[in-house]
Structure 1
């Protein structure tokens, strides 16, 4: 009787071990399934860019007087990015993303001079966050996004991998870069969309130190040949002013043939009578599978009560001719640019003889690797 009891105890003990092992194996398989499910929806992308820049009729180095004081230095158009002389670096951009059935997130990190310029008003000089947001697909027609996201206004963007031209326009440079807030995107039908947003003051992306907010809106139309977006921004933007900024912006682009594309951006921005307006055309020709050439022809006008670039009532014209030669994931971008600025009290550029001039011609050779 004693022997029978011990045998049964052993069986029960062995069954308990097997049951525990099975549970552990099932838990391990469940965890592995969760990891596999997460990784299948997780992505890493981004870009790396670098460039060479030189002026044809302007300074490319510092000039000193006999006392050793700097009297002039390298010049560039008063637009964002790609303004350093000689061989220079842009940025490394790493984008981490998760796209689930209902929810997801984007963490967009930037390193380097271009990235630092993009997050200039973040509140921390060493900030590397370009975008950081989470979203919820409430339904097939509504998506809510909360966090820091790049602006919905304008034709160009911060990432050089998504722009045809390497240097940027005046309208892009002095319109918003990024916003932090909450937005709701609406899919109206197969062609029409809309967006509404409540945001911090423009480019104050890390937090809101002023208790002021702005409102954004967008109406979009798209089909297989292109798209058009009408964008609105209204609200108190700057801590030094109680006046609200109003900006209206139209961005559109269409494939007229398999080889010819034409984009258009026009914008108007005003804060108590100060601001700017402008328009730019972006014709682009695909000459082969690996090469395309495109032009940005921009007119930029500052308002009579003041402007953010060259001053009251100044006018700028920018012609930028850019080639895109693609080898795998690498795009080589040779670029010729001519800027002409008028209606200023004195010339804004200095030529190689240290004389004032109203125009600047330059060349950029950029390399952009996207992954």
Structure 2
């Protein structure tokens, strides 16, 4: 009888303990907030070679040496070369948060070229934000530009090399912006900022103003962007209007678009690009960037280029390989030939990039 009683008591104790453990686990699951701090980033390297021009440096006209490469940002070295290491620390609270985005390496150095001369600045982005309400979010600090289709990080672009519109437009801004979630589809943004790419300070106390109107659904999006203000002392105001759009035509086929126009007292540029991309499997996709770009001076076209970039993307876990064939066709003869004894209108080049994201 004693044995039976003790057994019953033990069973009751165990049953009660199981209930308590289950209840505690359930309560923690319900009450414990999602992880707010995160660490992410990427590492990339590449190989690049010209097909119809010399693979060596040439004088740049100012006492230095440059590689023969497309005159766009990033990935312009010969042979095996480095991109950058990108480390992003962020904290997302219920109302407030921050992003600290650090870059190391050639691509990173070129991205933060607006830092003070002699600076060892490695800051790509550094900002705090406050979700004032469900509708309004304020961002204060240094953030990458809202204009254009492409971004600084290679993980955010399908093509590894970058476009002329991206290379000639803003990279980053420092200032205050307000984002408005108008409804489930419509959004807007207003900002006051330092001159373009002056992200560490504002030595001349000049300011630039920005605006954006956006519309997005689950399958497509479009953003109309504006920028206006003085970029340097003694210059006229710069005005830029930019449209980016993209849509999933099918489950496997995506089409993107970017068009831009920038003018500073009759000098500036305009261009447009299409970005068709087709996913053949979970691991592989292929995409084309076809871009037309023109620089003008004193209100008249000065030079133009058509660039076609065909890129493959093969993913092995978190590592992505991107073989890329690019042909730049210029209006004028500006590219040295293979023997460096003449100039030509086109440059064909091949790039193989490896990008690891975490």
TM class by shorter chain equals 0.7 to 0.9
Give 2:353's aligned residue: 366
The 1-side partners of 2:134 and 2:228 are apart by 28
Correspondence for 1:149 among 100, 120, 143: 143
TM-score (norm 1): 0.84
The 1-side partners of 2:48 and 2:238 are apart by 35
Larger Rg: 1
Q: Indicate how the Cα distance of structure 1 residues 276 and 73 shifts in structure 2: closer, same or farther if over 3 A, else same.
A: closer
Correspondence for 2:101 among 98, 108, 114: 108
3-state SS of 2:108 partner: helix
Q: Indicate how the Cα distance of structure 1 residues 132 and 63 shifts in structure 2: closer, same or farther if over 3 A, else same.
A: closer
Q: CA deviation at 1:126?
A: 1.7
3-state SS of 2:297 partner: coil
Structure 1: state its 5+ residue gaps.
Answer: 1-32, 65-69
Give 1:292's aligned residue: 285
Matches within 5 A, 1:49-198: 49-62=44-57, 74-124=67-117, 125-198=119-192
Q: Indicate how the Cα distance of structure 1 residues 72 and 243 shifts in structure 2: closer, same or farther if over 3 A, else same.
A: closer
Q: CA deviation at 1:305?
A: 2.0
Matches within 5 A, 1:196-345: 196-239=190-233, 241-305=234-298, 313-342=302-331, 344=332
8 Å CA contact 1:301, 1:313 repeated in 2: yes
Give 2:12's aligned residue: none
The 2-side partners of 1:193 and 1:272 are apart by 31
Q: CA deviation at 1:252?
A: 0.4
Q: CA deviation at 1:62?
A: 4.1
3-state SS of 1:76 partner: coil
The 2-side partners of 1:71 and 1:123 are apart by 21
Q: CA deviation at 1:61?
A: 1.6
Q: CA deviation at 1:233?
A: 0.1
CA distances 1:23-66 after superposition (whole Å, capped 9, x unpaired): xxxxxxxxxx9xxx8992100000000000000011112479xx
The 1-side partners of 2:64 and 2:43 are apart by 34
Structure 2: state its 5+ residue gaps.
Answer: 1-27
Give 2:336's aligned residue: 350
3-state SS of 2:256 partner: strand
The 2-side partners of 1:92 and 1:301 are apart by 32
8 Å CA contact 1:59, 1:73 repeated in 2: no
The 2-side partners of 1:292 and 1:248 are apart by 31
Q: Indicate how the Cα distance of structure 1 residues 63 and 299 shifts in structure 2: closer, same or farther if over 3 A, else same.
A: closer
- The range that moved more, 298-307 or 261-270, is 298-307
8 Å CA contact 2:57, 2:68 repeated in 1: no
- Please give the root-mean-square deviation of Cα atoms over the aligned residues, in Å: 2.0
The 2-side partners of 1:339 and 1:101 are apart by 48
CA distances 1:323-354 after superposition (whole Å, capped 9, x unpaired): 00001011100000000111x4xx21101121
3-state SS of 2:54 partner: coil
Return structure 1 stretches of 4+ with deviation > 3 angstroms: 70-74
Q: CA deviation at 1:306?
A: 7.5
